Amino acid sequence: MEMVSVEIKKILCPVDYSVCSSEAVKYAAHIAGEEGAKVYLMHVIDIRGFGHESPLDLEMPKPTAEVLERIKKELSENLLQERGGKKVEVETIVVVGKPVVEILNTAKEQGIDMIVMGTHGRTGIPHVVVGSVAENVVRKAPCPVLTVRHS
């Protein structure tokens, strides 16, 4: 059997500020430190939270450039605390959209080698909302996906 060389140079780590996703950040930082890889920390502001489901919902204002910048800054600080002294190159990506679509698009566009993400997010309902994000990313991703569960 031929050995396949595995090179991990770009890691995408979607973050939703849940306990589960902060566990995923630790794994991404560790792998990046070991492999000399770059970490793309990504936060998707879920467009479904902007009142498009029903005419009765109040229109939430779309995030401003300042809000997006603040989230980017918080994301990179988030990783600084996790990398345990190893120098890890970080890029932050903040977009508005549907999480699964945006994560998969970014993985393709950036030529990501591995996605590291939490199994479920802020809702705490393992399967309903964000669980389905992880599940769909695993099914459709162009690269390996490491899912991290909060123990």
Q: Report pLDDT digits (tens) over 15-25.
A: 887 778 888 99
Q: Which pLDDT score, from 0 to 100, does residue 14 have?
A: 93
pTM of the predicted model as reported, rounded to 2 decimal places: 0.80
- Strand order through the sheet with 114-118: 89-97, 38-46, 10-14, 114-118, 145-148
Please give the Cα distance from 140 to 143 (Å, whole number). Answer: 9
For 139, phi and psi rounded to 5 degrees? -65, -40
- Expressed as residue numbers, the domain containing 135 is 11-148
Residue 56 clears pLDDT 50, i.e. is over it: no
The residue assigned the tokens 């800054």 is 73
Whether 21 maps to a domain, the answer reads yes
Whether 2 maps to a domain, the answer reads no
Q: Which pLDDT score, from 0 to 100, does residue 96 have?
A: 87
Kindly state the percentage of the chain with pLDDT values over 70. 75
Q: Report pLDDT digits (tens) over 59-111.
A: 556 777 788 788 888 777 766 655 556 678 889 999 988 999 999 999 999 99
Whether 3 maps to a domain, the answer reads no
Whether 1 maps to a domain, the answer reads no
* Count of domains for the chain: 1
* 8 A C-beta contact, residue 38 and residue 90: yes
Whether 52 maps to a domain, the answer reads yes
Q: What is the CATH number of the domain that holds 74?
A: 3.40.50.620
DSSP 8-state secondary structure symbol assigned to residue 89: E
Whether 93 maps to a domain, the answer reads yes
